[in-house]
Amino acid sequence: MELRDQRVLLTGASGGIGLAIARALHARGATVIATARREEVLDGLKADLGDRVETLVADLTDASDVAALPERAGRVDVLVANAALPASGALVDFTPEEIDRALDVNLRAPLQFARVLVPAMTERGAGHLVFISSLSGKAASPGSSLYSATKFGLRGMALGLSEDLADTAVGVTTVFPGFIRDAGMFAESGTELPSYVGTRTPEDVADAVVRSIERGLLEVDVAPLSMRMGAKFASVAPGLSAKLQRRMGSTELSAEMAKGQAGKR
């Protein structure tokens, strides 16, 4: 699908990766319907990019905001479901409300948006849905149970949806970023990675989103080869992979990340 003149609904547009995705889509000639809770950040994006940016403030933990958003957005040719909470840490340390918030933002809202937006796309004979998962949606690690539940869930949903839409002109992509430096929920956690663990940038994720829409890709990883291979290995041998990860210090790393992200529950 060519992005020029398409209307793209982008959730999480105020975040580290969302801002990069908004810029990349805009640069390809799309109109970006940018949504998040922080109005001042969305206004800054609009001031920065000029025309072809529309902003919609919505809280994805609020079911009525989720229900109203597709209609407020008008025609949507492409959905990029990018908003998420980091949801890192041991499951037993979350309150029931924190668990609900993570499920609402990371999983329920993308499902609801897809349900509402797909019929109009199939009727028009064109459309694309992009779900931003994570390598934690392919391989679990200590302190990832809630986040991985949402990110594995997105992958399952997207693969199933893609099958439902196999005979239509509507494409579905899941994007799996690894550790992203410079901006976003990992960078802001202040976690120090061991020197052998590579990272990618928000712009790399944005490039992957653009490529996936333009080429109709089913899944795209955004991470160094070693991490991509690690995630593949984890899906065929999860027990052994977890054991190796623990030996390499995954428990300490996850604890540090959960501490740095505790304010975003």
Ligand X SMILES: NC(=O)c1ccc[n+]([C@@H]2O[C@H](COP(=O)([O-])OP(=O)(O)OC[C@H]3O[C@@H](n4cnc5c(N)ncnc54)[C@H](OP(=O)(O)O)[C@@H]3O)[C@@H](O)[C@H]2O)c1
Active site residues: 147
Minimum gap (Å) between residue 169 Cβ and ligand X: 26
Q: Which of 184, 113, 102 is nearest to 151 (CA)?
A: 102
Distance between first and last Cα of the chain: 36
Minimum gap (Å) between residue 38 Cβ and ligand X: 3
**Closer residue to ligand X, CB minimum distance, 118 or 132:** 132
Lookup result for tokens 């922080």 = 38
Minimum gap (Å) between residue 205 Cβ and ligand X: 7
CA–CA gap between residue 89 and residue 239 (Å, rounded): 20
Q: Residue 195: how many CB atoms within 10 A of its CB?
A: 6
Whether residue 22 contacts residue 10, with contact meaning beta carbons closer than 8 Å, is answered with yes
**Closer residue to ligand X, CB minimum distance, 42 or 118:** 42
Tokens of 82: 């990018």
Q: Which residues bind ligand X (CB under 6 A)?
A: 12-18, 36-38, 41, 58-61, 82-85, 105, 132, 134, 177, 179-180, 184-186
**Closer residue to ligand X, CB minimum distance, 59 or 214:** 59
Whether residue 187 contacts residue 146, with contact meaning beta carbons closer than 8 Å, is answered with no
